Chain A
Amino acid sequence: MPFLDYKGTQLEVDEDGFITEPSLWNEDLAKFIAETQEDIKELTPDHWKVINYLNNYYKQFGIAPMIRKVTKETGFDLKYIYELFPSGPAKGACKIAGLPKPTGCV
């Protein structure tokens, strides 16, 4: 497994850059992943709206929400979500929100 050098500690991520231990996630780490992994320099309030929704849903249910749910709850359409997270909701936004890579037959 590769590691990210985060504030002097080694943080384990998988080969696609998802953190392997979701409990380590915090807002500062989100900023760090956004900048180093996704090339997003600044997280705006709209970014946070998506990130917090994803993170809370994951904490409550153990899975990522369906995209339909994300667009409904945030009020953002898919096109705008792609503008916020150019590599997409699953690969970009979920990674920054500290979710593990999706598993199972999805």
Chain B
Amino acid sequence: MSQRLTQFKEIASLSSEPIAKITADDLPPLPGIAQPPIPAPRQRWLDTYDFSLDGFSDFEIPAPKTDEDKRRLVEGFFRGLEKLFDPENNWTFVKAFRLSIDYCVRCQTCSDACHTYVGSGYQEIYRPTFRSEILRRIYQRYYTTSGKLLPAFYGADIEVNFKTVWRLLELAYRCNLCRRCVMMCPVGVDNALIAREIRKLFSQELGIAPVELLKKGTRQHLQTGSTTGMRPNAMKALVADMEDQIEEKIGRRIEIPVDKKGADILLIHNAGEFLAWPENPAAFAILFDAAGINWTLSSEMLGYDGVNYGVWFDDVELARVALRHLQIAKDLGVKKVVVGECGHAHKAMMVIADRVFPGELSTNALPRESCLPLLYQIAKSGKLKFDPTRNNFPITLHDSCNVVRLMGIVKPQREIIKLICAQPVREMAPHGVHNYCCGGGSGFAIMNSLNFAEWRKNVSSRMKVQQILAAFNDVLDPSINKYVIAACSNCKGTIRDAQAHYGLWDQHHIHYGGLVDLMVNAMAELPKPYLEWPE
């Protein structure tokens, strides 16, 4: 049985013992999969860092030791909290944030909607409402008259000490920001936004954020041009490599347009694709070339890396990156920007940037679109001949939360599959706008410091692995290759890690990859298969 917390007050415990313990036995079983053991953190880590939420952490930041350090952390937290509630300081999100703090009726309908809460074996601290309720009680206790006078009566009973602050930081990074709970909430409370705003408080006020997202994330993005560290000369070299690779695979050379002024479309990928899944941007190039689209990539710093990690934790970082993206598109004079297979780039460039930049950088003046409707247009245009029998293996479709739930793009990818695959898609349960997150959303896919990846693989990815196994229930035999379509870089990275962790390829021959990869694999004119299965 999972540990039940009877009181929220445990968040303030001064002990370094975790207030919740995750053990392999508590986790819901995955049929046919032997649960790998969850290793304990190294002793050196326990001596140096803070694991007092649940025994996991991504923060290689020594926990505050001196009274002065502790006081500074608590004071910074209060300053940041005041700013979250202040329209001047938080004009971007104060309204939705404030409404979510004020209107939760504590019905807990959202809890069962959360893949992490369910996937953890119902750990109290992972309820979507848990961190929100703590923040709400802190605010009541320290900033409302009733809470100051009668804290116990108003439930404003949480003391803020450095442990409360640190555990709240960790808690903000136990939510994938997938917003499935928001859809289930009868009054529209956005607990994911509350988690995100807590992250923002820490980043903007205290400079505390996962190293992968800030120092090696947005800062490296702005300084080198990409969160991977890829500079423009590297991008150009990779494009040249990709042209060679394409020639080897399809038997003819195509030129990938770079910095083409006045092209109709600027295509922006997640730069991680160039390094980890180069067959994906290569597939886009093959398709666009064959369909006669007037398009270009950009080799400007940031113009070739469409990620925007600020969307997960920091408005200032978000705006800096988004501004560069939009300015590059404007300078190229393209008719529109098309975002490749990257979910959070969809959110950043289309949904949030439109909120942050009005006028000449708004979506009206500078259109940007998901790649999926365009790919559907290409698929049904008749310009390319597809042979679905080339994709004659069982497939399921993992929906990226930002694409389906946030933007409502559900049908194009399914219509494409009908045109390019021999077997009908095996829909996961649930799917579409009701999908479960892969477990890697909001930065978790790339957060690998200390033992955080263990948490992701065992807890937040769990329901997705269960869904994948269920979708292939009757064809699990490893003599049958199977493919999980995931049109999002971070979803792919997460599924790749889960695949290795649970032996999904070794035991069941379950592989994963993008949607465009399958489209190119179905192109009748190609001399040999485009898709490569693991060995």
Q: Mark B260-292, 1 if CB is under 8 A from A, else 0.
A: 000000000011110110100000000000000
Q: Mark A1-43, 1 if CB is under 8 A from B, else 0.
A: 1100000000000110000000000000000000000000000
Query: Are A66 and B275 also in contact (CB < 8 A) when A103-B220, A104-B227, A105-B490 are?
Result: yes
| Interface positions of A from 63 to 97, Cβ below 8 Å from B | 63-64, 66, 68-69
Return the chain A residue nearest B451 by Cβ: A15
Query: Are A104 and B226 also in contact (CB < 8 A) when A14-B60, A62-B234, A63-B234 are?
Result: yes
Query: Are A105 and B278 also in contact (CB < 8 A) when A15-B450, A61-B233, A61-B237 are?
Result: no
Interface bin, chain A: 10 to 19
With a cutoff of 8 Å between Cβ atoms, the chain A residues found around residue B278 in the complex are 66, 68
Secondary structure at chain B's binding surface: helix, strand, loop or mixed?
Answer: helix
CB-based contact B228/A63 at 8 Å:
yes
Return the chain A residue nearest B235 by Cβ: A61
B interface residues, tally (CB under 8 Å): 37
Return the chain A residue nearest B245 by Cβ: A68
CB-based contact B228/A102 at 8 Å:
yes
A104, A105, A106 pick with most chain B CB within 10 angstroms: A105
CA A2 – CA B276 in complex, angstroms?
29
CA A66 – CA B281 in complex, angstroms?
14
Query: Are A105 and B489 also in contact (CB < 8 A) when A14-B60, A15-B45, A15-B449 are?
Result: yes
Query: Are A61 and B271 also in contact (CB < 8 A) when A66-B241, A105-B276 are?
Result: no
**Minimum CB–CB distance for B158 against chain A, Å:** 32
CA A77 – CA B2 in complex, angstroms?
48
Set B217, B220, B228: member contacting A106, Cβ < 8 A: B228
**Interface residues of B, Cβ cutoff 8 Å to A:** 44-45, 60, 212, 216-217, 220, 224, 226-231, 233-234, 237-238, 241, 245, 270-273, 275-276, 278, 305, 307, 342, 445-446, 449-450, 489-490, 493
Instruction: Give me 20 other A-B pairs in contact (C-beta within 8 A), A60-B233, A61-B231 excluded.
Output: A15-B60, A15-B450, A61-B230, A61-B234, A62-B230, A62-B234, A63-B229, A64-B275, A69-B241, A102-B228, A103-B217, A103-B220, A103-B227, A103-B228, A104-B228, A104-B307, A105-B342, A105-B490, A106-B446, A106-B493
**Interface residues of A, Cβ cutoff 8 Å to B:** 1-2, 14-15, 60-64, 66, 68-69, 100, 102-106
